[in-house]
Amino acid sequence: MRETAVITGAAGGIGAAVARRLAAEGVRCVLVDRKPELAEVAAEIGGEAVIGDLTDPALSERAASIAGDELSLLVLNAGMNSSDKDPATLDLDRYRAVVGVNQHAVVWGLRAALPVLRTRGGGSIVVTASLAALRATPQDPIYAMTKHAVIGLVRALSGSLAEENIQLNAVCPGLVDTPLTAGNRERFRAAGIAVLDADSVAAAIVRTLRSGESGTELVVRPDLPDELYRPAPLP
């Protein structure tokens, strides 16, 4: 049976790079994003495009249905940042959108894919988190909140899913040169801040998909080896 992957946030950046890597391995790829450029990436790799709003659980169900019973790999990568630093002046529409994409869409993806993975006897899931999931990030507290939630979900579910032969892991990159950070590219360069390229993070995601481990939190940073993050034990 041919492997099939569902990859969210695949119109560019990390998601598109993951799709190219998996397609090169012979994996059939179902790509999900709201941006119309998704169709070009899907055509390039011979994949299938599912365009729509990931905050709607029906889109994740549609992607899982297209993948069918060959679905074995899931990359929940879609992300959105926030421009609000002060909850007192929060833009509520933007807030709902950020939480919807970064947090709820991860749950919708799991909800749609897990029944298929259980029926086939296993699979592998990677969630793209962030260094913001592991430390204070005052530059974007709403984004940090959603990524902390994602790590909490991975920690809570990975053990029980491993008993069903389903790996659930997180990759936590530092700053990445993607459309999400494009507006700050020159500021990062001027400040001498090192930024990851999307393909480096995609390589880490694919390795993690294939690792055979569960509950991994892999930190990926510029100019440093990838490193497993282990939470400190409670005192």
The CATH architecture assigned to 4-218 reads 3-Layer(aba) Sandwich (3.40)
Token couple for 231: 């939470």
Paired with 149 in beta bridges are: none
Name the DSSP letter for residue 101. I
Residue with tokens 């598109």: 16
Phi-psi region of 124 (alpha: psi -120 to 50; beta: other; left: phi over 0): beta
d(CA 203, CA 43): 21
Show me where the domains of the chain are located. Answer: 4-218
Residue with tokens 């700050």: 184
Which residues are tagged catalytic? 143
* Structure confidence by residue, pLDDT tens digits, 14-69: 999 999 999 999 999 999 999 999 999 999 999 999 999 999 999 999 999 999 99
Q: Is 149 in a helix, a strand, or coil?
A: helix
Question: How sure is the predictor about 149, in pLDDT bands with cuts at 50, 70 and 90?
Answer: very high
* Structure confidence by residue, pLDDT tens digits, 91-121: 999 999 999 999 999 999 999 999 999 999 9
Q: Is 174 in a helix, a strand, or coil?
A: coil
Torsion of CA 161, 199, 220, 183, to 10 degrees: -110
* Structure confidence by residue, pLDDT tens digits, 189-222: 555 567 788 999 999 999 999 998 899 999 999 8
